[in-house]
Copies of this chain bind each other. A is one copy, B any other.
Amino acid sequence: MLLHLSTWQEVESYLQQSQGIILPIGSTEQHGPTGLIGTDAICAEAIARGVGEATQAIVAPTINVGMALHHTAFPGTMSLRPSTMIQVIREYITCLAKAGFTKFYFINGHGGNIATLKAAFSETYAHLEDLQLANAHKVQCQLANWFMCSSVYQLAKELYGNQEGSHATPSEVALTQYVYPESIKQAPLSSSVGSGRKIYSAADFRQHYPDGRMGSNPALATPEHGKQFYELAVKELSNDYLEFLNEV
């Protein structure tokens, strides 16, 4: 059940059955010469909808733009500052909590969002308490990074070994190829690729990762791989979501 394709009365009925909601969150950022700028949002959205179908959960609109400041030296990247993103997440959750939702399950496609999301959860719990919201103490947020699913991680290791890298990875590229087969990109990839550098400023990032990849070889990706990743992630996160719902 997709929130944006529902009516408010359908949401009202849903809330009689469940107080859980899935929020896909990605990023709009460079993903190397062949990766789509929307990769993280595309993956998060596809998997979130899969989990939503498998678990009868409602799925919120995808948060397309996340915390990608370190990618902003590449054209096409859009980012929020962490403090703004905290505010945004806080306001999303507050609206939904006022309506009765208490279980917020974020399916995340971007490593750069993790810290800010966790900070946002803390800020939000305190905010809801300040508002004296009746169900404030019941509100729980959980962060599920699809790319950290153990099944996903293991398949990526089998398929790509250390060519998986850590940004513009073949696994995420594969998943976008599965979702948008008409948008598979070809571009020359130099055999040498930056790796091992920690992440500092946007300028520093571009200097050390000049084509945007971090140790990855996305040329290994195929849509068939993508399908496998998709199915593994949906299965693992569906179980995880149901456990989350059951937690008192």
Q: Does A100 contact B (CB under 8 A)?
A: yes
Residues of B within 8 A of A86 (CB): 82-83, 86, 119
Residues of B within 8 A of A203 (CB): 129, 136-137
Whether B69 and A126, one on each chain, are in contact in the complex, defined by CB atoms closer than 8 angstroms, is yes
Taking the closest CB of chain B, its distance from the CB of A18, in whole angstroms, is: 12
Contact residues on A (Cβ < 8 Å of other chain), bracket: 35 or more
* Residues in A113-145 with C-beta less than 8 Å from chain B: 114-120, 122-123, 125-126, 128-132, 136-137, 139-142
Selected from B11, B64, B126, B198, the residue in CB contact (under 8 A) with A76 is B11
Given A125-B70, A129-B203, A185-B7, CB of A78 within 8 Å of CB of B64: no
Taking the closest CB of chain B, its distance from the CB of A80, in whole angstroms, is: 5
User: Number of copies of this chain in the oligomer?
Assistant: 6
Whether A202 and B65, one on each chain, are in contact in the complex, defined by CB atoms closer than 8 angstroms, is no
Q: Does A194 contact B (CB under 8 A)?
A: no
Whether A9 and B122, one on each chain, are in contact in the complex, defined by CB atoms closer than 8 angstroms, is no
Selected from B6, B78, B132, the residue in CB contact (under 8 A) with A37 is B6
Within the assembled complex, what's the spacing in Å between the Cα atoms of A114 and B114?
Answer: 11
Selected from B11, B32, B87, B132, the residue in CB contact (under 8 A) with A84 is B87
Given A34-B7, A60-B78, CB of A67 within 8 Å of CB of B122: yes
Selected from B4, B32, B79, B120, the residue in CB contact (under 8 A) with A82 is B120
Whether A88 and B84, one on each chain, are in contact in the complex, defined by CB atoms closer than 8 angstroms, is yes
* Residues in A34-61 with C-beta less than 8 Å from chain B: 34-38, 41-42, 60-61
Taking the closest CB of chain B, its distance from the CB of A142, in whole angstroms, is: 7
Whether A11 and B33, one on each chain, are in contact in the complex, defined by CB atoms closer than 8 angstroms, is no
Whether A61 and B61, one on each chain, are in contact in the complex, defined by CB atoms closer than 8 angstroms, is no
* Residues in A208-244 with C-beta less than 8 Å from chain B: 212
Whether B78 and A95, one on each chain, are in contact in the complex, defined by CB atoms closer than 8 angstroms, is yes
Whether A5 and B201, one on each chain, are in contact in the complex, defined by CB atoms closer than 8 angstroms, is no
Q: List 11 A-B contacts (CB under 8 A).
A: A4-B28, A5-B37, A7-B35, A10-B76, A62-B64, A67-B119, A72-B99, A74-B99, A79-B95, A82-B86, A141-B200
